[in-house]
């Protein structure tokens, strides 16, 4: 629990603060099932439809048993996988900062409730459910005074996350339909790539830069969850070990690049301007230019805020990855 909490906090700090890292969770013509109609809007509800005032017990990620609404209408989601809810047709009234996300235009009225989350701002939205992708018990206690609050493991696999949310949000069938359609879409994508030159056993490494020339290799968070699927690329042993140990990302020095660079390199473009400049400096360095993947022209750049692990970003990646690899 402590390990996961640390990863969530660090990753969220980088991404939500508008500087970095994510892209994350532990794994998008759109061939994935279309999102059902939304169950909420940011406008305050003036009436409560029949049966929507009913509640039930729900046991969350960190073991709280919470009485939640059977059909929540005004949901706040605080975490890095907001797109999971949107894929199920649930439009949260409050979120973290989603600037630059592939789904940004789908929830234009959602309110940024801050990072760390601001209980007063959350209260102003009159939520009937808060989903908190964090294990911080002090923050949880504060939020639970605002509305029924459940913790959520945004580093779980995409399938597990969708099923958990399907249960919590009374969208079980929608979750299963989305999972089935997404598996079909990704299987078709990998098949197409293999037919066009992707070799069995090819390795890949995902890198990104944080301000201060801090270079990170991504492991169990964000884009790697997608490209390391069973039909996809293989992580190098060092990265596989990081994933096995539950690490979302690890800071490395430039000197170890030759040892950790796979057959293909994926670069997540940072949000912060100075980090982008430092990333460009790295890619103009002698050590970078000597990497086999660079010399073979197998380097691909993705916006860090788009190439993430939530369901809507996965839909985007299923279309975008072949565009990049088949140029």
pLDDT of 51? 54
pLDDT in tens, 89-110: 999 999 999 999 999 999 999 9
- Which residues, 6 or more positions from 46, have their beta carbon under 8 angstroms from its beta carbon? none
* Residue-by-residue DSSP string for 105-167: GG-TT-EE-TTTT-HHHHHHT--SEEEE----HHHHHHHHTTS-EEE--TTS-HHHHHHHHHH
Helical (H) or strand (E) element with 286: helix 286-289
DSSP secondary structure code for residue 104 in this structure: G
Chain-centre distance for alpha carbon 175: 17
Write down the pLDDT at residue 53.
64
CATH of 2-27+37-178, one of 3.40.50.970, 2.60.120.920, 3.40.50.1980, 3.30.465.10: 3.40.50.1980
Confidence of residue 29 (pLDDT cuts 50, 70, 90): very low
Chain centroid to CA 249: 13
Residues 6+ apart with CB under 8 A from 77: 85, 92, 94, 95, 131, 133
- pLDDT, mean of residues 115-123: 96
In terms of phi and psi (left: phi > 0; alpha: psi -120 to 50; beta: otherwise), the region of 322 is alpha
pLDDT above 90 for 282: yes
Say yes or no to pLDDT of 16 above 70. Answer: no
Percent pLDDT > 70 in the chain is 84
Cα distance between the two ends of the chain: 42
217: which DSSP letter?
A: E
- Per-residue pLDDT, 327: 82
Domain boundaries along the sequence of the chain: 2-27+37-178, 197-325
Average pLDDT over residues 16-29: 37
The model's confidence at residue 52, banded by pLDDT at 50, 70 and 90, is: low
Determine the Cα–Cα distance for residues 206 and 214; give it in Å rounded to an integer: 14
**The pair of three-digit structure tokens given for residue 287, joined into one six-digit string:** 């050590």
Half-sphere exposure of 134 (CA within 13 A, CB side): 24
Bigger pLDDT: 42 or 300? 300
Neighbours of 56 (CB within 10 A): 10
What pLDDT shows up at residue 43? Answer: 35
Scanning 53-124, the segments in alpha helix (DSSP H) are 82-87, 119-124
Residues constituting the chain: 327
pLDDT of residue 14: 45
Choice among 27-31, 257-261, 314-318, 319-323 with the minimum mean pLDDT: 27-31
pLDDT value of position 248:
87
Q: Domain 197-325, what architecture?
A: 3-Layer(aba) Sandwich (3.40)
Q: What is the pLDDT of residues 58-96, one digit of tens each?
A: 999 999 999 999 999 999 999 999 999 999 999 999 999
Query: In this structure, how many other beta carbons lie within 10 angstroms of the beta carbon of residue 43?
Result: 9
Residue 141 structure tokens = 């206690």
Exposed, middle or buried by CB within 10 Å (0-12, 13-18, 19+), for 144? middle
> Is the per-residue pLDDT at 30 higher than 80?
no
Q: Do the two domains 2-27+37-178 and 197-325 of this chain adopt the same fold?
A: yes
On the question of pLDDT at 11 being above 70, the answer is: no
pLDDT class of 141 with cuts at 50, 70, 90: very high
> Residue 35: pLDDT above 90?
no
Q: Half-sphere exposure of residue 61, counting CA atoms within 13 Å on the CB side?
A: 24
Predicted pLDDT of residue 197: 92
Q: For residue 36, is pLDDT > 70?
A: no
pTM of the model: 0.82
| Per-residue pLDDT band at 4 (split at 50, 70, 90) | very low
């Amino acid at each position: 629990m402590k390990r996961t909490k640390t990863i969530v906090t660090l990753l969220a700090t980088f991404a939500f603060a508008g500087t970095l890292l994510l892209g994350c969770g532990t794994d998008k013509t759109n061939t994935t099932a279309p999102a059902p109609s939304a169950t909420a809007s940011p406008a305050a509800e003036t009436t409560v439809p029949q049966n929507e005032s009913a509640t039930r017990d729900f046991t969350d990620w960190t073991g709280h048993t919470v009485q939640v609404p059977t059909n929540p209408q005004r949901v706040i989601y605080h975490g890095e996988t907001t797109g999971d809810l949107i894929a199920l047709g649930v439009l949260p009234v409050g979120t973290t900062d989603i600037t630059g996300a592939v789904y940004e235009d789908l929830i234009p009225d959602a309110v940024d409730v801050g990072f760390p989350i601001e209980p007063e701002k959350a209260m102003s939205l009159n939520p009937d459910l808060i989903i908190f992708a964090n294990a911080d018990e002090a923050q949880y206690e504060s939020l639970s005074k605002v509305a029924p609050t459940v913790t959520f493991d945004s580093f779980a696999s995409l399938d597990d996350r969708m099923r958990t949310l399907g249960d919590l949000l009374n969208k079980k069938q929608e979750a299963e339909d989305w999972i089935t359609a997404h598996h079909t879409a990704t299987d078709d994508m990998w098949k197409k790539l293999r037919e066009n030159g992707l070799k069995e056993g090819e390795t890949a490494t995902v890198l990104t830069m944080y301000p201060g020339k801090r270079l990170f290799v991504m492991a169990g968070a964000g884009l790697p969850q997608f490209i390391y699927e069973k039909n996809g690329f293989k992580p190098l042993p060092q990265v596989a070990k990081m994933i096995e140990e539950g690490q979302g990302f690890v800071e490395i020095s430039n000197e170890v690049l030759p040892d950790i660079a796979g057959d293909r390199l994926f670069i997540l473009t940072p949000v912060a301007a100075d980090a982008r400049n430092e990333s460009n400096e790295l890619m103009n360095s002698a050590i970078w230019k000597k990497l086999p993947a660079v010399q073979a022209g197998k380097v691909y750049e993705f916006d860090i805020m788009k190439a993430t692990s939530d369901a809507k970003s996965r839909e985007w990646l299923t279309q975008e990855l072949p565009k990049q690899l088949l140029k």
